[in-house]
Chain A
Amino acid sequence: ETGVTQTPRHLVMGMTNKKSLKCEQHLGHNAMYWYKQSAKKPLELMFVYNFKEQTENNSVPSRFSPECPNSSHLFLHLHTLQPEDSALYLCASSQGSFNEQFFGPGTRLTVL
Chain B
Amino acid sequence: DAKTTQPNSMESNEEEPVHLPCNHSTISGTDYIHWYRQLPSQGPEYVIHGLTSNVNNRMASLAIAEDRKSSTLILHRATLRDAAVYYCILRALYGGSQGNLIFGKGTKLSVKP
On whether A101 and B46 interact (CB within 8 A), knowing A42-B103, A42-B105, the answer reads yes
Name which of A14-22, A61-69, A102-110 contacts chain B: A102-110
Interface residues of A (CB under 8 A from B): 4, 42-45, 48, 56, 90, 92, 97-98, 100-106
* Alpha-carbon distance between A45 and B87 when the two chains are bound, in angstroms: 15
Chain B residues with a Cβ closer than 8 Å to the other chain, count: 18
17 CB contacts below 8 A, A to B, read A43-B44, A43-B101, A45-B100, A45-B101, A90-B43, A90-B44, A92-B43, A97-B99, A98-B98, A100-B46, A101-B46, A101-B101, A102-B46, A103-B42, A103-B44, A103-B45, A106-B43
Within 8 A of A (CB), among B20-52: 41-46, 49
* Alpha-carbon distance between A56 and B96 when the two chains are bound, in angstroms: 10
